Each structure stands twice: as structure tokens, then as C-alpha cells.
Amino acid sequence: MGAFDDIREVFAQSPAALQKALNASSFSFNSPQGQCEKCKGAGFEKIEMQFLSDIFVKCAECEGKRYRPHILEARIPIAPAPGKSVNASLPESINISEMLESTVDEAADILCAFTSKQAKRAARKIEILKEVGLGYLRLGQPINTLSGGECQRLKLASYLAEHVDEVEKAKKPALFLFDEPTTGLHFEDVRILLQVFRKLVHLGHSVLVIEHNMDVIRSSDWVIDLGPDAGENGGKIVGTGSPARIASIKESHTGKILRQYF
């Protein structure tokens, strides 16, 4: 999402960081300036097993916090800006490791307490993660721990973040192709996914979805119904048009279900 670059700048501008002469690179676990010397910022150590799968254990040096002690000592206070209120459940101050351990929802509340342009920019990107239903993820959560659906929504969020400062339309409209994106999703996740589709269209993009989920089909602007049956008995265009138009076609199985919906 690119939000961590701005978050590190927020920490670098804090009085604690200025007192210790720490810059934005110091708050990166990929940088030798700030990363734990033993685990190199990973937070864990890999132990190779001769006949079993490798195991990963929490780094004994930094206790999984990724950073050197003097970096963790740089804490920034979470105080409400003039005219704003801060979630009462948030701590009084936070360090960079605790920020990475916070959820997207918590990070959004924390960043709202700061008035710098970097904090505001990071907050806008974090809000996009909330919009696509990923508010429960931790900021520092490794990508390889996410499900396929979560990775898909994260990719969508990253694309939306590119246009976070654009008021109305995308500068370069794109065509998004999705193959059964609702597979395995809860009804609430489907609702959130539809909101993302609408936002993409609002920005000027086009969204083409191969789907059997009726909530998605009835929310479409245009439907191309293939059939009349599956496999060798399918592959023909049964009808095209709005969902209401498809519902009026007697030969369409999709239309039959749509009529029940309507």
C-alpha cells in the first residue's frame, strides 16, 4: 500500500526520534540502522531440521519485535488533535513495533491523532484497507499468511491507493477481469467486494466478472448469459442486457433465478 513509508516519517518527526537523531530509515526493519542484529528484522529465526520441515522460532534477542532496543525506546504520544477525539481504548503512546502489531482498524484510529501530511496520507491508504474488509489484519502481517481472497482484496486496495489523492476519475482507466471472485466468501464479504467494484467503476475503470453468484449478477450493469446448459450443451449466448432483461428470457436458467430474486 505504501503506507509504511509515511508511517516511518511520522515516527522520524517525533521529539523522541529527533532527540536520538533517528531518521525514517531507522524505523525500517529492512534497514541495518534499525533492524535487530540477530534476526535481521525478521522477528524470528529459522531452524533447519534434518528430516522434518524447517521450524521458525521467535528471535531471542528482540523477542519478535524486529528492532534494536534504542529504536523501540522512541515512543510517540497518541493525543487528540484540536477538535478531534481519540479512541479511549488506544494506549497513551506507541513505538514502531507496536504500530506494526496493531490492526488496520486500530492504525486508522492512531493516525487520526496526528496532523502531519504524512499521517493524513497514510490514514487515507489505511482507510482503503478497511473499505475492502481487511480491517482485522495486522500492519506487519506477512503476505504469505493471507488467504487467496485476502490477497485479492489487498491487490485491489493497492490499486485504489494509487488514486487516493484523485478526486473524481482515474488518470489511466483499466480493465479488471475476475474469475469467480466470490468463491468461499461470506455474504458480508460479497457485499464489501461489490462496494469495491462500484468504486472502481466510479473511478472510470471497467470490471468484467465471470460469476454464478446471484447477488453479483443482479448488481451488474450488463450481463452476458452463456448456456443453455453446462459443458457440451452450453457455450452459446442465451441473452445479453441488464439483469431485468435476462430475467425476461424463458430459456435462461440465470433468468429463472433472477425472476425469483426480483
Same domain, 24 and 135: yes
- CA atoms of 137 and 100, how far apart (whole Å): 10
Same domain, 248 and 169: yes
- CA atoms of 49 and 256, how far apart (whole Å): 58
Residue with cell 461470506: 186
Same domain, 104 and 226: no
Write out the residue range of the structural domain in which residue 153 sits. Answer: 148-261
Same domain, 154 and 211: yes
Same domain, 7 and 136: yes
Q: The C-alpha cell of 172 is what?
A: 489511466
Amino acid (1-letter code) at residue 231 = G
- CA atoms of 140 and 68, how far apart (whole Å): 17
Same domain, 205 and 121: no
pLDDT by residue for the chain (262 residues), tens only, comes to 889 999 999 999 999 999 999 999 999 999 999 999 999 999 998 888 888 888 889 999 999 999 999 999 999 988 765 666 666 677 889 999 999 999 999 999 899 888 889 999 999 999 999 988 899 999 999 888 898 888 888 988 888 887 655 544 556 788 999 988 888 888 988 998 899 899 889 888 899 999 999 999 999 999 999 999 988 999 999 999 999 999 999 999 999 999 998 8
Give SS3 for 193. helix
pTM, rounded to two decimals: 0.78
Same domain, 175 and 236: yes
Q: 166 in the Ramachandran plot: left (φ > 0), alpha (ψ -120 to 50) or beta?
A: beta
Same domain, 135 and 157: no
